[in-house]
Structures are given as C-alpha cells and as structure tokens.
C-alpha cells in the first residue's frame, strides 16, 4: 500500500532518494537510530528495490541520514552527549560537526557511487 502510493507520487529514483533523505533526517531528529531503522526499513526497502536502487546503497544512505538527524536539534541526542563530553556549547559544536561531516562526505561521494 505504501509502496504503491510512493511509486504513484514519483517515477524518478532521484526524487525518491531526495524524499527518502528528507524523511530519514526528520525521523532521525526525533527517534533513536535502531528504532527508526527497524520501523522504516521493511516499508521502504521494497520501494527502493522497485526503483532499482541497490539495497547496500539504500542502507548506507539510511544510516547516514539517521546519524545527521541524531546530531540535529531540536532533540539531537548525540549532540548533547558530545557537548557534555567536550564541555562545549551546543551551537558551536553543532556548526563544527556539520562542516566536518559535510566535507568528509563530499570527498568520498565518488566511492558511494561505485557501490551502487
């Protein structure tokens, strides 16, 4: 039922991946990673297979988006834990973490394309 409504909404795998990224980021902001993955994988994995997306690539994208969600306020559990360990203000650590992660991911973007 969910897969039919998603495939009816778009026929492009790129649009599906963009929507999936947004949904996983939002879910990661409010849910713990294991619970989010366990709940969403059975629903969206068949949809990704229907679009011809490799399950390994799908899993990597899912985990990375959940990690970004866990670092993003308003909840940002991992952000608060890291700031508590470093004894640093949340805003400064949040900005530095996103700049570091974005640069690291963009430098390895070609490697993710090889996996798919």
What would the pLDDT profile of 23-46 be if each residue is shown by its tens digit? Answer: 888 888 888 889 999 999 999 999
Q: Is 12 exposed, middle or buried (0-12, 13-18, 19+ CB in 10 A)?
A: exposed
Residues in the chain: 116
What would the pLDDT profile of 64-76 be if each residue is shown by its tens digit? Answer: 888 888 877 777 7
pLDDT of residue 42: 92
CB atoms within 10 A of CB 76: 19
What would the pLDDT profile of 69-100 be if each residue is shown by its tens digit? Answer: 887 777 777 777 777 777 766 566 566 666 66
Q: How far is CA 88 from the centre of its chain?
A: 25
């Amino acid at each position: 039922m969910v897969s039919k409504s998603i495939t009816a909404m778009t026929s492009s795998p790129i649009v599906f991946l963009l929507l999936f990224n947004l949904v996983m980021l939002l879910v990661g902001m409010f849910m713990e990673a294991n619970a989010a993955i366990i709940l969403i994988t059975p629903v969206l994995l068949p949809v990704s297979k229907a679009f011809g997306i490799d399950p390994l690539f799908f899993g990597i994208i899912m985990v990375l988006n959940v990690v970004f969600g866990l670092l993003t306020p308003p909840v940002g559990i991992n952000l608060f834990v890291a700031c508590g360990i470093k004894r640093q203000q949340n805003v400064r650590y949040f900005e530095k973490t996103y700049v570091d992660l974005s640069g690291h991911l963009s430098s390895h973007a070609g490697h993710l394309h090889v996996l798919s």
